[in-house]
Chains A and B, each alone.
Chain A
Amino acid sequence: MSELLQMGLTGFNLGLMYALIAIGLTLIFGVMRIIQYAHGEMFMLGAFTLYYWNAEFGLPYWPGVAVSAVVIFLFGAFLQIVLFRRLHGKNILYSLAVSLGLVLIISSSGQILFGTTVKGIPSAVSGGVLFAGTYLSYERMVISAVSAALILALWFFLRFTTTGLAIRAVAEDPDTSALQGIRTSRIHWIAFGLGSSMAAIAGCMMGTLLSIVPTMGFLATIKAFMIVIMGGLGSVLGAVVGGLILGMIDSVVTTTISSDIALILSFVVIFLVLVFRPSGLFGQHWD
Protein backbone atom coordinates (compact mmCIF):
# COMPACT_ATOMS: atom_id res chain seq x y z
CA MET A 1 0.00 0.00 0.00
CA SER A 2 2.73 2.44 1.00
CA GLU A 3 4.69 1.52 -2.13
CA LEU A 4 1.61 2.26 -4.25
CA LEU A 5 1.18 5.62 -2.54
CA GLN A 6 4.86 6.41 -3.11
CA MET A 7 4.57 5.54 -6.80
CA GLY A 8 1.41 7.60 -7.11
CA LEU A 9 3.00 10.66 -5.52
CA THR A 10 6.15 10.34 -7.61
CA GLY A 11 4.00 9.95 -10.72
CA PHE A 12 1.97 13.03 -9.81
CA ASN A 13 5.15 15.01 -9.17
CA LEU A 14 6.72 13.86 -12.45
CA GLY A 15 3.44 14.41 -14.32
CA LEU A 16 3.18 18.04 -13.23
CA MET A 17 6.70 18.75 -14.47
CA TYR A 18 6.00 16.98 -17.76
CA ALA A 19 2.84 19.07 -17.99
CA LEU A 20 4.85 22.28 -17.54
CA ILE A 21 7.11 21.38 -20.47
CA ALA A 22 4.21 20.24 -22.63
CA ILE A 23 2.08 23.33 -21.88
CA GLY A 24 4.94 25.47 -23.18
CA LEU A 25 5.12 23.44 -26.37
CA THR A 26 1.37 23.41 -26.93
CA LEU A 27 1.20 27.17 -26.35
CA ILE A 28 3.82 27.77 -29.04
CA PHE A 29 2.11 25.41 -31.49
CA GLY A 30 -1.37 26.72 -30.71
CA VAL A 31 -0.44 30.34 -31.36
CA MET A 32 2.09 30.02 -34.19
CA ARG A 33 1.30 26.62 -35.76
CA ILE A 34 4.99 25.76 -35.90
CA ILE A 35 6.97 22.78 -34.64
CA GLN A 36 9.51 23.89 -32.03
CA TYR A 37 11.70 20.83 -31.77
CA ALA A 38 14.28 22.72 -29.69
CA HIS A 39 11.79 23.11 -26.82
CA GLY A 40 13.77 20.59 -24.75
CA GLU A 41 16.84 22.80 -25.16
CA MET A 42 14.95 25.58 -23.32
CA PHE A 43 14.35 23.03 -20.55
CA MET A 44 18.08 22.25 -20.48
CA LEU A 45 19.15 25.91 -20.59
CA GLY A 46 16.72 26.72 -17.80
CA ALA A 47 18.29 24.04 -15.61
CA PHE A 48 21.84 25.24 -16.34
CA THR A 49 20.93 28.86 -15.67
CA LEU A 50 19.78 27.85 -12.19
CA TYR A 51 22.83 25.61 -11.76
CA TYR A 52 25.26 28.47 -12.40
CA TRP A 53 23.20 30.93 -10.34
CA ASN A 54 22.83 28.64 -7.35
CA ALA A 55 25.55 25.97 -7.36
CA GLU A 56 28.39 27.98 -8.96
CA PHE A 57 27.73 31.53 -7.76
CA GLY A 58 26.02 30.56 -4.50
CA LEU A 59 23.03 32.81 -5.04
CA PRO A 60 19.66 31.88 -3.50
CA TYR A 61 17.61 29.11 -5.14
CA TRP A 62 14.11 30.58 -5.66
CA PRO A 63 15.19 33.91 -7.15
CA GLY A 64 17.38 31.75 -9.41
CA VAL A 65 14.27 29.93 -10.71
CA ALA A 66 12.70 33.31 -11.50
CA VAL A 67 15.90 34.54 -13.18
CA SER A 68 16.05 31.35 -15.23
CA ALA A 69 12.42 31.84 -16.33
CA VAL A 70 13.09 35.45 -17.34
CA VAL A 71 16.35 34.67 -19.17
CA ILE A 72 14.77 31.84 -21.16
CA PHE A 73 11.66 33.95 -21.82
CA LEU A 74 13.93 36.57 -23.41
CA PHE A 75 15.91 33.93 -25.29
CA GLY A 76 12.68 32.33 -26.61
CA ALA A 77 11.29 35.72 -27.66
CA PHE A 78 14.60 36.48 -29.40
CA LEU A 79 14.49 33.17 -31.30
CA GLN A 80 10.90 33.87 -32.36
CA ILE A 81 11.69 37.35 -33.64
CA VAL A 82 14.93 36.40 -35.39
CA LEU A 83 14.17 32.89 -36.67
CA PHE A 84 10.61 31.69 -36.35
CA ARG A 85 8.69 34.86 -37.32
CA ARG A 86 9.64 34.27 -40.94
CA LEU A 87 8.31 30.71 -40.80
CA HIS A 88 4.83 31.62 -39.59
CA GLY A 89 2.19 30.53 -42.09
CA LYS A 90 4.69 28.46 -44.05
CA ASN A 91 4.78 24.66 -44.34
CA ILE A 92 5.37 23.13 -40.91
CA LEU A 93 8.44 21.28 -42.25
CA TYR A 94 10.38 24.57 -42.37
CA SER A 95 10.02 25.10 -38.63
CA LEU A 96 10.86 21.44 -38.01
CA ALA A 97 14.08 21.79 -40.02
CA VAL A 98 15.09 25.08 -38.36
CA SER A 99 14.34 23.85 -34.85
CA LEU A 100 16.22 20.57 -35.45
CA GLY A 101 19.20 22.70 -36.43
CA LEU A 102 18.76 24.67 -33.23
CA VAL A 103 18.80 21.42 -31.20
CA LEU A 104 22.20 20.56 -32.63
CA ILE A 105 23.59 24.07 -32.15
CA ILE A 106 22.31 24.55 -28.59
CA SER A 107 23.10 21.08 -27.25
CA SER A 108 26.58 21.01 -28.85
CA SER A 109 27.31 24.52 -27.59
CA GLY A 110 26.07 23.39 -24.19
CA GLN A 111 28.55 20.51 -24.15
CA ILE A 112 31.40 22.91 -24.99
CA LEU A 113 30.33 25.59 -22.49
CA PHE A 114 28.98 23.52 -19.60
CA GLY A 115 31.10 20.35 -20.07
CA THR A 116 29.83 16.80 -20.45
CA THR A 117 30.00 15.70 -16.81
CA VAL A 118 26.75 15.17 -14.94
CA LYS A 119 25.92 18.05 -12.58
CA GLY A 120 23.37 18.57 -9.84
CA ILE A 121 21.48 21.54 -8.47
CA PRO A 122 21.47 21.52 -4.65
CA SER A 123 18.04 21.10 -3.07
CA ALA A 124 16.35 24.19 -1.71
CA VAL A 125 14.35 22.17 0.81
CA SER A 126 15.41 19.13 2.83
CA GLY A 127 13.73 16.61 5.07
CA GLY A 128 10.37 14.94 4.90
CA VAL A 129 7.60 13.29 6.83
CA LEU A 130 6.28 9.73 7.23
CA PHE A 131 2.65 9.39 6.22
CA ALA A 132 0.83 6.02 6.18
CA GLY A 133 4.18 4.29 6.05
CA THR A 134 5.30 6.39 3.09
CA TYR A 135 8.17 8.88 3.22
CA LEU A 136 7.06 12.17 1.73
CA SER A 137 9.98 14.39 0.83
CA TYR A 138 9.40 18.10 1.43
CA GLU A 139 11.38 18.83 -1.71
CA ARG A 140 8.99 16.85 -3.93
CA MET A 141 6.00 18.36 -2.15
CA VAL A 142 7.28 21.90 -2.71
CA ILE A 143 8.14 21.17 -6.35
CA SER A 144 4.66 19.69 -6.92
CA ALA A 145 3.04 22.70 -5.27
CA VAL A 146 5.11 25.17 -7.31
CA SER A 147 4.39 23.30 -10.57
CA ALA A 148 0.65 23.14 -9.83
CA ALA A 149 0.62 26.82 -8.82
CA LEU A 150 2.35 27.77 -12.08
CA ILE A 151 -0.12 25.78 -14.17
CA LEU A 152 -2.98 27.44 -12.29
CA ALA A 153 -1.39 30.88 -12.70
CA LEU A 154 -1.07 30.30 -16.45
CA TRP A 155 -4.72 29.25 -16.59
CA PHE A 156 -5.74 32.48 -14.81
CA PHE A 157 -3.46 34.51 -17.06
CA LEU A 158 -4.99 33.03 -20.23
CA ARG A 159 -8.55 33.40 -18.93
CA PHE A 160 -8.60 36.73 -17.13
CA THR A 161 -5.93 39.05 -18.52
CA THR A 162 -6.15 41.05 -21.73
CA THR A 163 -2.90 39.57 -23.06
CA GLY A 164 -4.09 36.07 -22.13
CA LEU A 165 -7.32 36.63 -24.02
CA ALA A 166 -5.34 37.90 -26.99
CA ILE A 167 -3.15 34.77 -26.93
CA ARG A 168 -6.25 32.56 -27.03
CA ALA A 169 -7.78 34.71 -29.74
CA VAL A 170 -4.70 34.53 -31.96
CA ALA A 171 -4.54 30.76 -31.42
CA GLU A 172 -8.15 30.46 -32.58
CA ASP A 173 -8.24 32.92 -35.48
CA PRO A 174 -5.29 35.24 -36.22
CA ASP A 175 -7.04 37.29 -38.92
CA THR A 176 -10.08 38.04 -36.79
CA SER A 177 -7.74 38.84 -33.89
CA ALA A 178 -6.01 41.46 -36.02
CA LEU A 179 -9.44 42.92 -36.79
CA GLN A 180 -9.90 43.50 -33.04
CA GLY A 181 -6.69 45.55 -32.94
CA ILE A 182 -4.44 42.74 -31.68
CA ARG A 183 -0.87 42.97 -32.99
CA THR A 184 -0.44 39.27 -33.73
CA SER A 185 3.35 39.50 -34.16
CA ARG A 186 3.61 40.75 -30.56
CA ILE A 187 1.44 37.89 -29.30
CA HIS A 188 3.67 35.42 -31.16
CA TRP A 189 6.86 36.42 -29.34
CA ILE A 190 5.06 36.64 -26.00
CA ALA A 191 3.65 33.11 -26.43
CA PHE A 192 7.00 31.78 -27.62
CA GLY A 193 8.81 33.37 -24.67
CA LEU A 194 6.18 32.21 -22.20
CA GLY A 195 6.22 28.66 -23.56
CA SER A 196 10.02 28.57 -23.37
CA SER A 197 10.05 29.89 -19.81
CA MET A 198 7.58 27.17 -18.73
CA ALA A 199 10.07 24.59 -20.05
CA ALA A 200 12.90 26.41 -18.25
CA ILE A 201 11.07 26.26 -14.91
CA ALA A 202 10.41 22.54 -15.44
CA GLY A 203 14.14 22.17 -16.15
CA CYS A 204 14.96 23.88 -12.83
CA MET A 205 12.62 21.54 -10.92
CA MET A 206 13.70 18.39 -12.71
CA GLY A 207 17.36 19.39 -12.45
CA THR A 208 16.97 19.71 -8.69
CA LEU A 209 15.33 16.29 -8.31
CA LEU A 210 17.58 14.45 -10.76
CA SER A 211 20.79 15.57 -12.49
CA ILE A 212 21.61 17.80 -15.45
CA VAL A 213 23.63 17.33 -18.64
CA PRO A 214 23.65 19.42 -21.84
CA THR A 215 21.95 16.60 -23.79
CA MET A 216 18.99 16.32 -21.39
CA GLY A 217 16.76 18.32 -23.74
CA PHE A 218 16.32 15.52 -26.25
CA LEU A 219 14.24 13.21 -24.05
CA ALA A 220 12.29 16.19 -22.70
CA THR A 221 11.31 17.16 -26.26
CA ILE A 222 10.24 13.60 -27.08
CA LYS A 223 8.12 13.39 -23.92
CA ALA A 224 6.63 16.84 -24.51
CA PHE A 225 5.61 15.87 -28.04
CA MET A 226 4.15 12.57 -26.81
CA ILE A 227 2.07 14.46 -24.22
CA VAL A 228 0.96 17.19 -26.60
CA ILE A 229 -0.09 14.71 -29.28
CA MET A 230 -1.93 12.58 -26.72
CA GLY A 231 -3.58 15.58 -25.03
CA GLY A 232 -4.41 17.32 -28.28
CA LEU A 233 -2.33 19.90 -30.18
CA GLY A 234 -2.88 23.38 -28.80
CA SER A 235 -4.82 22.25 -25.72
CA VAL A 236 -3.48 23.38 -22.33
CA LEU A 237 -5.86 21.03 -20.50
CA GLY A 238 -4.72 18.20 -22.77
CA ALA A 239 -1.10 18.94 -21.85
CA VAL A 240 -1.91 18.74 -18.12
CA VAL A 241 -3.88 15.49 -18.39
CA GLY A 242 -1.36 13.99 -20.84
CA GLY A 243 1.51 14.97 -18.55
CA LEU A 244 -0.12 13.34 -15.53
CA ILE A 245 -0.86 10.12 -17.48
CA LEU A 246 2.72 9.90 -18.71
CA GLY A 247 4.09 10.74 -15.25
CA MET A 248 2.05 7.95 -13.68
CA ILE A 249 3.12 5.42 -16.31
CA ASP A 250 6.76 6.44 -15.83
CA SER A 251 6.58 6.17 -12.08
CA VAL A 252 4.58 2.95 -11.73
CA VAL A 253 6.10 0.96 -14.58
CA THR A 254 9.67 2.11 -13.97
CA THR A 255 9.40 1.11 -10.31
CA THR A 256 7.68 -2.22 -10.89
CA ILE A 257 9.24 -3.33 -14.21
CA SER A 258 11.75 -1.06 -16.02
CA SER A 259 12.13 2.36 -17.60
CA ASP A 260 12.32 0.81 -21.11
CA ILE A 261 8.96 -0.88 -20.63
CA ALA A 262 7.57 2.43 -19.28
CA LEU A 263 8.59 4.19 -22.50
CA ILE A 264 7.08 1.41 -24.65
CA LEU A 265 3.86 1.46 -22.63
CA SER A 266 3.66 5.25 -22.96
CA PHE A 267 3.74 4.91 -26.73
CA VAL A 268 1.12 2.12 -26.62
CA VAL A 269 -1.19 4.40 -24.61
CA ILE A 270 -0.65 7.24 -27.09
CA PHE A 271 -1.37 4.94 -30.05
CA LEU A 272 -4.59 3.78 -28.36
CA VAL A 273 -5.66 7.36 -27.65
CA LEU A 274 -5.01 8.37 -31.24
CA VAL A 275 -6.89 5.34 -32.61
CA PHE A 276 -10.04 6.30 -30.69
CA ARG A 277 -9.51 10.09 -30.68
CA PRO A 278 -7.36 11.06 -33.66
CA SER A 279 -7.15 14.70 -32.49
CA GLY A 280 -5.98 13.68 -29.02
CA LEU A 281 -7.89 13.80 -25.73
CA PHE A 282 -8.84 17.49 -25.89
CA GLY A 283 -7.66 18.47 -29.34
CA GLN A 284 -9.32 20.14 -32.27
CA HIS A 285 -8.81 19.42 -35.94
CA TRP A 286 -5.84 21.37 -37.23
CA ASP A 287 -5.66 21.66 -41.02
Chain B
Amino acid sequence: MLLEVDKLHLHYGKVEAVKGVTVKLEQGEVITLIGANGAGKSSILKAISGLVRPSSGEIRYNGKRIDKTAPNDIVGMGIVHVPEGRRLFKLMTVRENLRLGAYLNKDRAAIHQGIEDVFDRFPILREKQNEMAGRLSGGQQQMVAMGRALMARPKVLLMDEPSLGLAPIMIDQIAELIVSLRDSGLSIILVEQNANLALTLSNHGYVLETGSIALHGPSAELLENPEVAKAYLGA
Protein backbone atom coordinates (compact mmCIF):
# COMPACT_ATOMS: atom_id res chain seq x y z
CA MET B 1 0.00 0.00 0.00
CA LEU B 2 1.42 3.37 -1.04
CA LEU B 3 -0.70 5.66 1.11
CA GLU B 4 -3.16 4.71 3.81
CA VAL B 5 -5.47 6.94 5.82
CA ASP B 6 -6.63 4.84 8.74
CA LYS B 7 -9.61 5.71 11.00
CA LEU B 8 -8.88 9.42 10.65
CA HIS B 9 -10.70 11.85 12.95
CA LEU B 10 -10.20 15.57 12.57
CA HIS B 11 -11.63 18.50 14.52
CA TYR B 12 -11.79 22.24 13.89
CA GLY B 13 -12.36 23.49 17.43
CA LYS B 14 -15.35 21.51 18.68
CA VAL B 15 -16.61 20.63 15.20
CA GLU B 16 -15.66 17.16 14.00
CA ALA B 17 -15.02 17.51 10.27
CA VAL B 18 -13.76 13.97 9.61
CA LYS B 19 -15.16 10.97 11.49
CA GLY B 20 -13.13 7.81 11.31
CA VAL B 21 -12.35 7.81 7.58
CA THR B 22 -10.22 5.05 6.04
CA VAL B 23 -8.88 5.56 2.52
CA LYS B 24 -6.29 3.51 0.62
CA LEU B 25 -4.20 4.46 -2.40
CA GLU B 26 -2.17 1.93 -4.39
CA GLN B 27 0.82 2.75 -6.59
CA GLY B 28 -0.30 4.14 -9.96
CA GLU B 29 -3.93 4.38 -8.88
CA VAL B 30 -6.31 7.35 -9.04
CA ILE B 31 -8.88 7.50 -6.27
CA THR B 32 -11.52 10.14 -5.83
CA LEU B 33 -13.33 11.60 -2.85
CA ILE B 34 -16.73 12.97 -3.76
CA GLY B 35 -19.41 14.56 -1.64
CA ALA B 36 -21.22 17.78 -0.88
CA ASN B 37 -19.62 20.93 0.52
CA GLY B 38 -18.45 20.39 4.08
CA ALA B 39 -18.33 16.59 3.73
CA GLY B 40 -14.67 16.60 4.85
CA LYS B 41 -13.00 15.91 1.49
CA SER B 42 -10.57 18.84 1.56
CA SER B 43 -9.83 18.25 5.25
CA ILE B 44 -8.60 14.73 4.44
CA LEU B 45 -6.19 16.14 1.84
CA LYS B 46 -5.01 18.78 4.31
CA ALA B 47 -4.36 16.09 6.90
CA ILE B 48 -2.33 14.04 4.40
CA SER B 49 -0.22 17.04 3.39
CA GLY B 50 0.32 18.02 7.04
CA LEU B 51 -1.55 21.32 6.97
CA VAL B 52 -3.90 20.16 9.74
CA ARG B 53 -3.21 17.68 12.53
CA PRO B 54 -5.60 14.74 12.94
CA SER B 55 -7.29 14.33 16.33
CA SER B 56 -6.76 10.58 16.06
CA GLY B 57 -6.09 7.91 13.47
CA GLU B 58 -3.01 7.30 11.37
CA ILE B 59 -1.71 8.30 7.94
CA ARG B 60 0.98 6.01 6.53
CA TYR B 61 3.09 6.50 3.43
CA ASN B 62 5.04 3.45 2.28
CA GLY B 63 4.26 1.97 5.71
CA LYS B 64 5.74 4.95 7.60
CA ARG B 65 3.53 7.20 9.75
CA ILE B 66 3.40 10.77 8.49
CA ASP B 67 0.50 12.21 10.51
CA LYS B 68 2.89 14.17 12.74
CA THR B 69 5.24 15.19 9.91
CA ALA B 70 5.58 18.87 8.88
CA PRO B 71 4.14 19.87 5.47
CA ASN B 72 7.57 20.75 4.03
CA ASP B 73 8.92 17.30 4.92
CA ILE B 74 5.86 15.64 3.39
CA VAL B 75 6.57 17.48 0.13
CA GLY B 76 10.12 16.16 0.39
CA MET B 77 8.71 12.62 0.47
CA GLY B 78 6.95 13.24 -2.85
CA ILE B 79 3.39 14.00 -1.72
CA VAL B 80 2.33 17.23 -3.39
CA HIS B 81 -0.94 19.04 -2.73
CA VAL B 82 -2.68 21.29 -5.28
CA PRO B 83 -5.02 23.18 -2.94
CA GLU B 84 -8.56 24.29 -3.64
CA GLY B 85 -8.77 27.67 -5.35
CA ARG B 86 -5.27 27.19 -6.84
CA ARG B 87 -3.64 29.30 -4.09
CA LEU B 88 -1.04 30.77 -6.42
CA PHE B 89 1.39 33.41 -5.23
CA LYS B 90 -0.52 36.13 -7.00
CA LEU B 91 2.07 38.86 -6.49
CA MET B 92 4.72 36.72 -8.19
CA THR B 93 5.24 35.90 -11.82
CA VAL B 94 4.24 32.62 -13.42
CA ARG B 95 7.91 31.64 -13.65
CA GLU B 96 8.51 32.44 -9.97
CA ASN B 97 5.51 30.31 -9.02
CA LEU B 98 6.94 27.42 -11.01
CA ARG B 99 10.38 27.87 -9.44
CA LEU B 100 8.82 27.67 -5.99
CA GLY B 101 7.28 24.34 -6.95
CA ALA B 102 10.83 23.01 -7.20
CA TYR B 103 11.94 24.68 -3.97
CA LEU B 104 13.51 21.50 -2.57
CA ASN B 105 15.39 20.76 -5.77
CA LYS B 106 18.86 22.35 -5.71
CA ASP B 107 19.79 21.27 -9.25
CA ARG B 108 19.48 24.43 -11.39
CA ALA B 109 19.59 22.52 -14.68
CA ALA B 110 16.80 20.22 -13.51
CA ILE B 111 14.70 23.21 -12.42
CA HIS B 112 15.20 24.85 -15.80
CA GLN B 113 14.27 21.61 -17.55
CA GLY B 114 11.22 21.24 -15.29
CA ILE B 115 10.01 24.73 -16.26
CA GLU B 116 10.54 23.92 -19.95
CA ASP B 117 8.53 20.70 -19.50
CA VAL B 118 5.68 22.67 -17.94
CA PHE B 119 5.81 25.17 -20.83
CA ASP B 120 5.72 22.27 -23.30
CA ARG B 121 2.66 20.90 -21.54
CA PHE B 122 0.96 24.32 -21.25
CA PRO B 123 2.38 26.48 -24.11
CA ILE B 124 0.35 29.55 -23.09
CA LEU B 125 2.39 29.73 -19.87
CA ARG B 126 5.56 30.28 -21.87
CA GLU B 127 4.02 33.49 -23.23
CA LYS B 128 2.75 34.52 -19.78
CA GLN B 129 5.84 33.50 -17.80
CA ASN B 130 6.71 37.05 -16.71
CA GLU B 131 3.14 38.10 -15.87
CA MET B 132 1.84 38.23 -12.32
CA ALA B 133 0.01 34.99 -11.61
CA GLY B 134 -2.90 36.92 -10.10
CA ARG B 135 -3.63 38.54 -13.46
CA LEU B 136 -4.18 35.27 -15.34
CA SER B 137 -7.57 33.76 -16.17
CA GLY B 138 -8.93 30.98 -13.94
CA GLY B 139 -7.93 28.31 -16.45
CA GLN B 140 -4.41 29.66 -16.83
CA GLN B 141 -4.10 29.88 -13.05
CA GLN B 142 -5.09 26.22 -12.80
CA MET B 143 -2.36 25.40 -15.35
CA VAL B 144 0.18 27.24 -13.18
CA ALA B 145 -1.05 25.40 -10.09
CA MET B 146 -0.72 22.04 -11.85
CA GLY B 147 2.63 23.01 -13.35
CA ARG B 148 3.90 24.15 -9.96
CA ALA B 149 2.91 20.80 -8.45
CA LEU B 150 4.62 18.87 -11.28
CA MET B 151 7.82 20.88 -10.72
CA ALA B 152 8.18 18.99 -7.41
CA ARG B 153 8.33 15.67 -9.33
CA PRO B 154 5.55 14.18 -7.16
CA LYS B 155 4.97 10.51 -6.42
CA VAL B 156 1.50 11.23 -5.04
CA LEU B 157 -0.60 14.16 -6.22
CA LEU B 158 -3.42 15.49 -4.05
CA MET B 159 -5.77 17.53 -6.24
CA ASP B 160 -8.49 19.59 -4.61
CA GLU B 161 -11.30 20.68 -6.92
CA PRO B 162 -9.17 21.21 -10.05
CA SER B 163 -12.25 21.87 -12.19
CA LEU B 164 -13.82 24.44 -9.86
CA GLY B 165 -14.89 27.61 -11.67
CA LEU B 166 -13.41 26.59 -15.02
CA ALA B 167 -14.96 26.78 -18.50
CA PRO B 168 -15.91 23.38 -20.03
CA ILE B 169 -13.01 23.51 -22.51
CA MET B 170 -10.56 23.98 -19.64
CA ILE B 171 -12.16 21.15 -17.67
CA ASP B 172 -11.52 18.87 -20.67
CA GLN B 173 -7.87 19.95 -20.70
CA ILE B 174 -7.49 19.26 -16.97
CA ALA B 175 -9.14 15.87 -17.43
CA GLU B 176 -6.71 15.04 -20.25
CA LEU B 177 -3.83 16.02 -18.01
CA ILE B 178 -5.05 13.79 -15.17
CA VAL B 179 -5.37 10.89 -17.60
CA SER B 180 -1.85 11.45 -18.92
CA LEU B 181 -0.46 11.66 -15.38
CA ARG B 182 -2.33 8.49 -14.43
CA ASP B 183 -0.96 6.73 -17.50
CA SER B 184 2.55 7.82 -16.58
CA GLY B 185 2.17 5.92 -13.29
CA LEU B 186 1.51 8.82 -10.90
CA SER B 187 -0.75 8.07 -7.95
CA ILE B 188 -3.50 10.65 -7.49
CA ILE B 189 -6.15 11.49 -4.90
CA LEU B 190 -8.74 13.65 -6.61
CA VAL B 191 -11.31 15.67 -4.67
CA GLU B 192 -14.12 16.87 -6.90
CA GLN B 193 -17.64 18.24 -6.72
CA ASN B 194 -18.00 17.22 -10.37
CA ALA B 195 -18.65 13.58 -9.44
CA ASN B 196 -19.19 12.41 -13.01
CA LEU B 197 -15.78 13.71 -14.07
CA ALA B 198 -14.07 12.37 -10.95
CA LEU B 199 -15.53 8.87 -11.23
CA THR B 200 -14.74 8.73 -14.93
CA LEU B 201 -11.08 9.54 -14.29
CA SER B 202 -10.52 7.37 -11.23
CA ASN B 203 -10.13 3.68 -10.41
CA HIS B 204 -11.77 3.81 -7.03
CA GLY B 205 -14.21 6.23 -5.41
CA TYR B 206 -15.23 7.21 -1.88
CA VAL B 207 -18.51 9.01 -1.24
CA LEU B 208 -18.34 11.23 1.85
CA GLU B 209 -21.29 12.52 3.83
CA THR B 210 -20.82 14.83 6.83
CA GLY B 211 -17.32 13.56 7.55
CA SER B 212 -17.93 9.83 7.13
CA ILE B 213 -17.62 7.45 4.20
CA ALA B 214 -21.12 6.57 3.08
CA LEU B 215 -20.10 4.38 0.16
CA HIS B 216 -16.98 3.25 -1.63
CA GLY B 217 -15.95 0.93 -4.40
CA PRO B 218 -14.64 0.78 -7.96
CA SER B 219 -15.50 4.02 -9.75
CA ALA B 220 -17.21 2.16 -12.61
CA GLU B 221 -19.59 0.57 -10.10
CA LEU B 222 -20.25 3.86 -8.33
CA LEU B 223 -21.12 5.44 -11.67
CA GLU B 224 -23.84 2.80 -12.06
CA ASN B 225 -25.04 3.07 -8.47
CA PRO B 226 -28.56 4.61 -8.45
CA GLU B 227 -28.02 6.35 -5.08
CA VAL B 228 -24.83 8.00 -6.30
CA ALA B 229 -26.47 8.84 -9.61
CA LYS B 230 -29.39 10.49 -7.82
CA ALA B 231 -27.35 12.41 -5.25
CA TYR B 232 -24.24 13.39 -7.21
CA LEU B 233 -24.65 12.75 -10.92
CA GLY B 234 -27.83 14.72 -11.45
CA ALA B 235 -29.76 11.67 -12.63
Interface set of A (CB-CB < 8 Å, partner B): 162, 165-166, 168-169, 172-173, 175-184
**Segment of B16-24, B71-79, B221-229 in the binding face:** B71-79
Tell me, rounded to whole Å, the shortest Cβ–Cβ distance linking A190 to chain B: 14
User: Complex Cα distance A175/B72, Å?
Assistant: 10
Give the interface size class of chain B: 20 to 34
- CB closest residue in chain A, given B105: A181
Q: B90 to chain A: which residues have CB within 8 Å?
A: 172
Q: A168 to chain B: which residues have CB within 8 Å?
A: 89, 91-92
B100 touches A180 (CB 8 A): yes
A181 touches B76 (CB 8 A): yes
Q: B71 to chain A: which residues have CB within 8 Å?
A: 175, 178-179
Also in contact, A180 and B91, with CB within 8 A (given A165-B96, A175-B51): no
Q: B50 to chain A: which residues have CB within 8 Å?
A: 178
User: Complex Cα distance A179/B72, Å?
Assistant: 6
A176 partner, pick from B76, B87, B99, B104, beta carbons under 8 A: B87
Tell me, rounded to whole Å, the shortest Cβ–Cβ distance linking B153 to chain A: 11
User: Complex Cα distance A172/B132, Å?
Assistant: 13
Q: List 8 A-B contacts (CB under 8 A).
A: A162-B103, A165-B99, A175-B71, A179-B81, A180-B100, A180-B152, A181-B76, A181-B104
Q: A166 to chain B: which residues have CB within 8 Å?
A: 100, 103
**B204 an interface residue at 8 Å Cβ cutoff?**
no
A173 touches B100 (CB 8 A): no
Q: B92 to chain A: which residues have CB within 8 Å?
A: 165, 168-169, 172
**B70 an interface residue at 8 Å Cβ cutoff?**
yes
Also in contact, A176 and B83, with CB within 8 A (given A162-B103, A168-B89, A182-B103): yes
Binary flags per residue of B189-215, CB closer than 8 Å to A gives 1, else 0: 000000000000000000000000000
Tell me the residues in window 38-80 of chain B with beta carbons closer than 8 Å to chain A beta carbons.
Answer: 49-51, 70-72, 75-76, 80
User: Complex Cα distance A162/B104, Å?
Assistant: 10
**B35 an interface residue at 8 Å Cβ cutoff?**
no
User: Complex Cα distance A169/B98, Å?
Assistant: 12
Also in contact, A165 and B51, with CB within 8 A (given A172-B91, A178-B71, A181-B75): no
Tell me, rounded to whole Å, the shortest Cβ–Cβ distance linking A73 to chain B: 23
Also in contact, A180 and B96, with CB within 8 A (given A168-B91, A173-B89): no
Q: B88 to chain A: which residues have CB within 8 Å?
A: 176
A179 touches B51 (CB 8 A): yes
User: Complex Cα distance A183/B75, Å?
Assistant: 11
User: Complex Cα distance A162/B151, Å?
Assistant: 15
Which residue among B70, B91, B100 has the maximum number of chain A CB atoms within 10 Å of its CB?
B100
**Can you name 9 extra interface pairs (CB under 8 A) apart from A162-B103, A180-B148, A181-B103?**
A165-B96, A165-B99, A168-B91, A169-B89, A172-B89, A178-B50, A179-B71, A179-B75, A183-B72
Tell me, rounded to whole Å, the shortest Cβ–Cβ distance linking A273 to chain B: 21
**B114 an interface residue at 8 Å Cβ cutoff?**
no
User: Complex Cα distance A179/B104, Å?
Assistant: 11
Q: A181 to chain B: which residues have CB within 8 Å?
A: 72, 75-76, 103-104, 152
Q: B139 to chain A: which residues have CB within 8 Å?
A: none
User: Complex Cα distance A177/B101, Å?
Assistant: 9
A169 touches B51 (CB 8 A): no
Q: Shortest 8 CB-CB distances between A and B: which pairs?
A: A178-B71, A181-B75, A181-B104, A176-B87, A181-B103, A180-B103, A183-B72, A180-B100
- CB closest residue in chain B, given A178: B71
Also in contact, A165 and B70, with CB within 8 A (given A179-B49, A179-B83, A181-B152): no
Q: A165 to chain B: which residues have CB within 8 Å?
A: 92, 96, 99-100, 103
Q: A172 to chain B: which residues have CB within 8 Å?
A: 89-92
Tell me, rounded to whole Å, the shortest Cβ–Cβ distance linking B154 to chain A: 11
Q: B103 to chain A: which residues have CB within 8 Å?
A: 162, 165-166, 180-182
Q: B76 to chain A: which residues have CB within 8 Å?
A: 181
